Copies of this chain bind each other. A is one copy, B any other.
Amino acid sequence: MFEAAEVGRKLSKEQYKTQLPVVRAELLAVQQQLHGAHFPVIVLFAGVDAAGKSETASLLNEWMDPRWIVTRGYMDPSDEDLERPRLWRYWRDLPPHGRIALFLSAWYSSPIRDRVARRTTTSEFDVLLDEIAAFERALTDDGAVVLKFWMHLGKAAQKKRFKAFEKDPLRRWRVTKQSWKHWHMFDRFVAAADRAIRKTSTEQAPWHIVEGEDERYRSIVVGTALRDGIRRALERASATTRATTTRRKTSRAASGSGSTLEKIERTFNVLDELDMRQRLDPRTFDTALEKEQGRLNLLQRKASAQGISTIVVFEGWDAAGKGGAIRRVTGALDARDYQVIAIGPPTDEERVRHYLWRFWRHLSRAGRITVFDRSWYGRVLVERVEGFATEREYRRAFGEIEHFEEQLVADGILLVKFWIHITKDEQLKRFRERRRTAHKRWKITEDDWRNRARWADYVIAVDEMVARTSTQVAPWVLVEGNDKNFARIKVLKTLADGLERRIKS
């Protein structure tokens, strides 16, 4: 694969002088246009040591306006990074719409290094590459431009470059024992890179292999590719805007009729299977509450000591009793050990990034419980029903959510998801009661009545959500919530059981 990047491509000083001002001016111009766009640009530099990765990143900062560029080079992960899933630190740094991020030694770096050093097997390596491909797909599906540059040098050329660096007092530091050690493993390195590039070159996020020997050549090549990548995305975006109005109308009508059809087809759904008459009398409840809260408290302390994090998702109808259930959970815990994250409308920093960003940012350090009161499932519930997400977006979300949760679980996090269910009659009863009771009145708003009117649409959405995202690693727990006592104990017990299974005794 790399043969074409070992032939000694060059640009003469004159060629460079002619092309440079054009490329710079055009890069500046597309950067300007990008400001108003609704997508970010993510540029990845990987490749052979001394092939010009950081020089090129510096040059781009010089050519363009560095205030709108985020440059990040990754070293060894910090202890905060290590306590979260591998991709957390990259999510954390994702640029907002309209900006360009230059990432060096990012998500490909340690998978390749680990493979070269034989710390991982080929199949472990493949799993990591699949994870990366899914991550990049989530970004590009969301509109991000992802450009990946593999800066290459042949083995002989790298040696020559190292020797030259060693003579230059300004660059001597860049050649270490480590560099030469790597040089001796050049063939292994190239083999791993070859595999990585093949497995992660997609139409949306292709690799560009750039011969790095000649600084002028590689700079112009990268600059041009970046300009073209942004330009194409801008054209695509403006074409989409023009087409949107027409398409919206059609899709509205279609989805309307579709949902009627769906309603007829799905007279049965998973929520109908629940035995909604289940209750607990107050006395049994008191005993059970004490017991389960005690269990949970003990188990969470063990989990905390073992560095096991827990994420608990609460979804459910308005007035289903999510808040009450959450308070029974947190009431059993040390206040230092948990965090309740209420998901409302996104802030503007969240709005200009991938919709999963706002959940990644709340992942806690090891050993804590994070409770999400509503969650990433908003995408396939309220956003679907209210039309805030297009059909394509919420359909895509099923896969993205699955992938997100796989990463949580693979990282050792215990993930528990509750859908608290109540019947439509029970909801009405509770709404009325809330209106009557002074200190509960704030809990009931116009939105609640509006959502209630769309009950049937929500039933379809919930049914599909459960069907699509109840995976083996993260199954949904449906909680019969007409009786609050019953629901609370079921939540506590499920959570404690989950912890018990996970903890190493």
Contact = CB atoms under 8 A, between A and B. Distances in A.
Interface of A: 25, 28-29, 32, 54, 57-58, 61-62, 65-73, 75, 78-80, 102, 104-105, 169-170, 173, 294, 297-298, 301, 323, 326-327, 330-331, 333-340, 342, 347-349, 365, 373, 439, 442
Nearest to A295: B170
A58 B334 contact: yes
Q: Which of A80, A104, A170, A365 has the most CB of B within 10 A?
A: A170
A463 to B, nearest CB: 27
B342 A68 contact: yes
* A-B complex: 9 closest residue pairs judged by Cβ atoms: A73-B336, A67-B342, A57-B335, A66-B340, A58-B335, A71-B335, A348-B348, A25-B439, A54-B335
Contacts of A439: 25, 28-29
B62 A331 contact: yes
A62 B340 contact: no
Contacts of A69: 340
13 contacts: A32-B442, A58-B331, A58-B333, A61-B330, A66-B340, A67-B323, A67-B326, A69-B340, A75-B336, A80-B80, A104-B335, A104-B336, A173-B301
Given A65-B323, A67-B340, A347-B347, 8 more contacts: A29-B439, A54-B334, A57-B336, A67-B323, A68-B342, A71-B335, A78-B79, A349-B349
A99 B79 CA distance: 29
B336 A54 contact: yes
Contacts of A72: 336
A338 B78 contact: no
Which of the listed residues A61, A66, A170, A349 has the most CB atoms from chain B within 10 Å of its own CB? A66
Contacts of A323: 65-67
A430 to B, nearest CB: 17
Nearest to A332: B58
B73 A335 contact: yes
Contacts of A348: 347-349
Contacts of A78: 78-80, 365
A60 to B, nearest CB: 8
Contacts of A32: 442
Contacts of A102: 335
A68 B68 CA distance: 34
Given A62-B331, A80-B78, A71 B336 contact: yes
Nearest to A56: B335
A340 B72 CA distance: 11
A204 to B, nearest CB: 25
Contacts of A28: 439
Contact of A62 (B57, B330, B336): B330
Nearest to A440: B28
A168 to B, nearest CB: 10
A180 to B, nearest CB: 19
Nearest to A26: B439
Contacts of A339: 70-71
A28 B173 CA distance: 61
Contact of A170 (B294, B338, B347): B294
Contacts of A104: 335-336
A170 B297 contact: yes
A334 B45 CA distance: 14
Nearest to A96: B347
Nearest to A70: B339
A416 to B, nearest CB: 18
Contacts of A79: 78-80
Contacts of A70: 339
Nearest to A329: B66
B335 A61 contact: yes
Most chain B CB neighbours (cut-off 10 Å) among A61, A297, A337: A61
